[in-house]
Every structure is written in C-alpha cells, then in structure tokens.
A and B are shown apart, each in its own frame.
Chain A
Amino acid sequence: MHLCRRCVSLLLSRPLLSAALQPSTHTLHQRSHHILLQPPVHRLTQRHSRETWTPCGRRNLTDHQAASPDVYNNKTDLAEREAEKHIVPFENLNVHQISNQESLSDMGLDAVVRPSPLQEISEEEAIQIQVPSALPPDSFTLKPYVDQSETLSKLVQLGVNLWELEQRPNVGSMLVRLDFHADVAPKLLFLKDLGVEESKLGTILTKNPFILTESLDNLEARVSYLKTKKFSQESVAVMVSKAPYLLNFSVERLDNRLGFFQKQLGLSAEKTRNVVTRLPKLLCRSLEPIKENLKVCELEFGFRGNEIQHIVTTVPKVLIANKRKLTQIFDFVHNTMDVPHSLIAKFPQVLNAKFLRIKERHLFLEYLGRAQYQPSQPNYISLDRLVFLPDDVFCSDVALATLEDFERFQKTL
C-alpha cells in the first residue's frame, strides 16, 4: 500500500486547521483557507469552509469558544502531537506555520516549502498516521459529540435524555463544556449521599441539568437548611427527586416559601412539613397562583378556614391546580349535584378529578335514578366512590348497570 503525501495532507488538513483557527473569527477562517492551502487541498477545504458557514440558523450548540475542553483538547492536541511526531520535517514545519497562523501575516506564506503531494511514503509511516475523527465545530445536536465526550457518554449511560435537554436554549453548549471529573461526578456523589435512588438520577438531571453548574457549597447549604427545619434525610431525598429544581433556589427563597405556607394556611410546623414533602413543587413555583387559589376557595367557593386547611392537607395539589378547572368542578358538584360544602371538604379529592368524568357519571346515575349524595338517606353514594372507582367497577358496584350501557349512555350526551 502506498499512500502518497497528498492523501496525508488531505487527512490532516481538516482537524489541524480547525484546531489552529479555533479562537479566530469566521472571516479569518475563511481567508486563511485560501491563503494557506495549496490547490490539491483546496477542494476539500472549500467544502469545509462552507460547512462552517451554513449553520447559523437556530442555535449553535458549540460556537468556537464554547467547544468543550475535553473534546477539543484531547482530540486535536493528540492529533497535533501525532502529526508532529510522525510526519517528515517538512510537514512538521508546515504544521507549526499553520498553528501559529494568528501571528502570521499574509507575507511569507508562499515561501513555505511543502513536500510534493505525490511523494511516496513507507508503509510504516502510513500506519502511524492517525486519522482524527471529524468533529464539527458547531452543530445543531449533541449527536456528533456523544461518542467523543466523556461527560456526554457517561450522562447517557446514567439515563439522561440528551435529546430533551438539547431542545432547551443554551443547555446543549453548557453540557458540552462540562468536565466529567471536575463538574459532574461531585454532584452525582452528592445526590447519592443525600439518599436519592440511583435510578432517579437520570430523570432528575433531565429535568434540571443546572444542578451540575451549581456550586457544591450552595447545594450543601440548602440541604442543611432543610435539615434545620427538621425535614428528615429521607424526606429531603424524596423532595429532591420529586422537584429537581428545589436545590437551585437560594436559602432565603426557601425560607420565604416555608414561612408563607405556615402563615397563610395557619398550619402547624408538622403539617406544613407534611404538605411540602408530599408536593415539593410548591416551593419551586411562583406564589401568586397559590394565593389566588386560596382566595378562590375562600371567597368564590365559600369554604371556611378550617375546611380550607383540611382540603390543603389532604390534597395539596388543589393549591397549584388550574383555577378555571377548580371552579368548573366545584360549580358542577355544588350547584348541579347539590352536594354541601361540608361533604366536599370531607372528600376533597373530588376537586382533583376530571370534570368530564364527574359529569358523565353523575348524569348516568341521575338517568338511572340513583344519584343520591345525602349520607343520611339510603342508597348513599359517596363522592369518593363516584369519582375514583375505575369504569367497570363503577358500573357494576355503584350504578348496577353494564359497561356497555354506560358507553351507550355517553353517546347520548
């Protein structure tokens, strides 16, 4: 096998150039191609330069400065070193010329002596030419970098959905820039020490990749704050896996939220802790919709203070539910089905159910003449049984009809 010099220069021209030109601007890039390269190489580099110009559309995951340290340094340095080691002195000189091109001006380039592209090289030399993999300098996806970058491949093995992450602005280039041993591993160990299950790590990082860029001291401060508020170790772990953004909020903010819930709802510390552990999203969200929902419960629905407390402690989700949907359900249950406030407060799960489900079932029962929601009367049907049984059980136990009848009834609505 005889490789000729031309092929070698072809193979090496791409990564070397991109390595050398990394900090330079596009225009310099373009110009240097034309200046530095000899005619035989020209065709390929033309293509290369076009590649670098085209993707200015949506997002450049890795602009020139943003190329990951490990991907870029490892690969291109290696390529450069290889080239310096094994290539005949002429080529070596050329490499230096190119890599130092920033200081070069236009003059003097023509004077560089290049080996003939047709010069034959020995087989041993040919074997030792490493063809570096072609990493695009910028890309729309993380796909080309996954195999090369240690961080990304480790994250994939953890179960992080990179595709979902790269849809979000700036997350892709952030991930590429991370170093596994310096940035990622300590955070993973921290989460592991916290008691988060290993299988949940992937989903947590998919939800909140920014935990990787947060400093470790901050994370520890927040966890210790939660512990001073007498959250147990397990509950902190559960909260973090349920609401991954929890640890990205400052201590003041967390303190503010916890104080708000305790004061606004008038709950004891124990109950507040219980509510927050069950729905840790409450600490991450904005407080305005929560205040609004509380007002809706109080003024629009007419629940009393202790009833609201009971509703919130049993179904915390009422606080972050859609106001319009809550109103729709309450309106139907209270005004159409004639269920008093006390019963709704007793079975607050009904506020968390689907409106269509409640409506269809109520109308079916009414059609059958068994819509009876007063506990004092016979054939009482509790709201719980109305809403939370699956369809077949509901038909057989509550409505005493067949499932086909129920479906046929649905088609008359």
Chain B
Amino acid sequence: MTTKAARLFRRMDGLFAVYKPQGVHWKLIRDTIESNLLKELNSCPPPAPQLAVKFQLLSSGENNGSKDLILSPSMLPSLANHPLVKGPQFHKVHVGVGHRLDAFSSGVLVLGVGKGNYVLEHLCKSHVTRDYTLEGEFGRATDDFSHTTRVIEKTTYDHVTQDKLERVLAMIQGANQKALITYSQMDLRTQEAYELAVKGLLYPHGKSPPILTGLRCIHFNPPHFTLEVQCVNETQKYLRKLIHEVGLELRSSAVCSGVRRTRDGPFKAENALTRQHWTADCIIQAIAHFRKTTRKIRKSGMYRQTDGQLNSSAKIQEQIRSEIGQSDQEHVELTSPTFDRIVDRVAPGTG
C-alpha cells in the first residue's frame, strides 16, 4: 500500500540543476528547495484515519439484573493518528549539493534529492570539467580579487591589447597542460598514454591542484574583458585569482567582477531552474529530464569502483564514451576536445 505522498517521494530521487543567483549562499538554496519539497509532500492528503475498537457500555433498561451489562463493540476513528497529533508525514528530504559555488559567484549548481545523493558522490569523484565565464576589469587590485572590496592599488591599462592578453592566456594554458600530464601519473612513452592523449582523455589522477583544461578570451573591451574557462578541481577563489594574475602578467592589475558557471559536467545552464521555478512540480520535471544522465553517472561511478576487474570493462567504457560523445556533440564542437567526459580514465596499473 503506497500513498500518494510516498509515490511522490520516490519520484523525487535523482539529480537536477538550479541556477544560483549571485549573492546567495548555497546553503540557503539547499534549504529553500528542501522546504519547498517538504511542503509539497506534506500537502498530500493523509492516509485514512485508523479505526480503533471501543467498547461502549449500553445501559439495558429491561434487563434489570445488574449482571447483564452489555458492551457493544464499535469502530471509531482514533484521534491518536490524527495529522494534527501525529505531525507531518515527512520531516526531512535529503537534498545534497554537488560542486559548491561560493556566495559571490552564480551559475549552475547541481543538487541531488533522496537516493540521488549517492550518484552525486560519483559525480563529485569523477573528473568532469566545468565551464566558467569570468568577467574581469583592468585597472584595480583589491584584497580578495573581487570588484566590491577594498582597493589595494590602481594601475593604467592603456598598453593592454587583445594580442598581449591572448599571449598570456596561451602561456597559462601551456603551464596547465604540463601540470595535467604530471598529475595524470601516466608514463608518456606507453601506447595507452598516447591514445588517451590523442583523444584528449587525460585526467588528473587522485587529488590535484586546480587545473585549467581550456582558457580563452571571448570578449575584450578594455577595461572589461571576459574569459571562458574549462577546469577541474577548481575553487571560485582560484578563478578570481586567475584574473588577478592575468592582470599582473600584463604589467597591470585586474579584478574579477563576476564568476558564472555555465556547465557542470553534463548539466548545462539551459536546463537549470531559475529562482521562480524552485517549486516541487518543476523540480520533479527536471529530475525526470535528467534521469538518463543520472543513470549514466551512476554506472560510470560503479565501473570506477570495480576498477580491479577492468579487463572486461574497458570495452564498456569505450561504449559509454561513444554514447556520451553522441549526446554531447554540440559541446565537443564548441570547445576544446579535452573535456566533457563523465567516464573516468582507466588506471593503467590496474588494467
């Protein structure tokens, strides 16, 4: 016997993405969504009241003998299970947050509900890259690299041209590429390493510092400029610092006026829910929309766990790779080839 609320609760298991506005802490978003879901669950009609057997004493007038008291059993709804006494049916819906976004930055934030939290773990462990758009402004430097805090120094930026900026970006990207190869712990002389590198499937193995896998300037209008970044293991503070360092490299200084995440692994900004749509209905729709993606992430996560028996699973990985390649074609076209793979690299030692 499942009630409507229980069915609704089961439909909520899964992952979805919201668009986090700037200036709001992610914990606030998580709590808002949790309370919205709870409200919807508890507004479902409660199960029918339980009946309890009660014996009512009937005074029998005609039988004047005091021994013949008649007890008549009857079924009455017991108040003990009334919703006002028992409280709401659901007290907690587990809502987990994927890769965090700090209060200053905005963009796609992946949330998991219920059993989706296990998949969320897989997503966090897998080496998916994330897309960011960084807004920069030349001429100032502040103490935490964002444009609102205390100004430390002011500089000129007349000498900065797009050409110089791109040269600096290329240099940074080269350094990161080198770091990527180091942290992938791969012997570069093997055939396997060659194949992975050709396909752009090299990933940092285990823990690594933030690594940029793609970096380019998409808009340059001094003092404002906009960078597009693909990266792994990043923090938003690191990205703001990146703008600062770009400014220093150009013999000027720069502050970051906006960090916006446009993609987190397979979750893109187009399908993220904006603030008005954080209702239970929209969330359930979004979860249903991402169900397929969720399943893929779970599978790839499980393959990674059973890394020991990888001889056979290498083929399956190939399969998934081709599947994802098909589903995310447009992305692959848009940006550099070294990103957007949910599938983890096969560890060479265990294979």
List A residues at the B interface (Cβ < 8 Å): 124, 127-128, 141-144, 146-147, 152-153, 156, 159-164, 356, 360, 391, 407, 410-413
Contact = CB atoms under 8 A, between A and B. Distances in A.
Contacts of B178: none
16 contacts: A127-B69, A141-B85, A142-B85, A143-B86, A146-B80, A146-B85, A147-B79, A159-B84, A160-B84, A163-B85, A360-B275, A407-B276, A410-B19, A410-B275, A411-B274, A413-B22
Contacts, number: 59
A407 B273 CA distance: 9
A190 B82 CA distance: 27
Contacts of A160: 84
Nearest to A124: B67
Given A410-B274, A411-B274, A143 B85 contact: yes
B24 interface: yes
B24 A147 contact: no
Most chain B CB within 10 A, of A124, A142, A144, A146, is at A146
A107 B37 CA distance: 64
A147 B78 contact: yes
Interface in B144-202: none
Interface in B34-92: 52, 67, 69, 71, 78-80, 82, 84-88
Given A163-B87, A356-B275, A413-B21, 12 more contacts: A141-B85, A146-B80, A146-B82, A147-B52, A147-B80, A156-B84, A162-B84, A163-B85, A163-B88, A410-B274, A411-B19, A411-B269
Category for how many chain B residues contact A: 20 to 34
A152 B78 CA distance: 13
A411 B272 contact: yes
B106 interface: yes
A161 B52 contact: no
Contact of A163 (B86, B106, B270, B275): B86
Given A128-B69, A147-B52, A161 B24 contact: no
Nearest to A160: B84
Contacts of A144: 80
B84 A163 contact: yes
A128 B66 CA distance: 11
Most chain A CB within 10 A, of B69, B79, B84, B274, is at B84
A162 B84 CA distance: 6
Nearest to B269: A411
Nearest to B81: A143
Nearest to B22: A413
Given A146-B79, A391-B276, A413-B106, A356 B21 contact: yes
Ranked 9 nearest A-B pairs via Cβ: A163-B87, A146-B79, A410-B274, A162-B85, A161-B84, A143-B80, A411-B269, A146-B85, A146-B80
Interface string B109-149: 00000000000000000000000000000000000000000
Interface in B298-328: none
Nearest to B275: A356
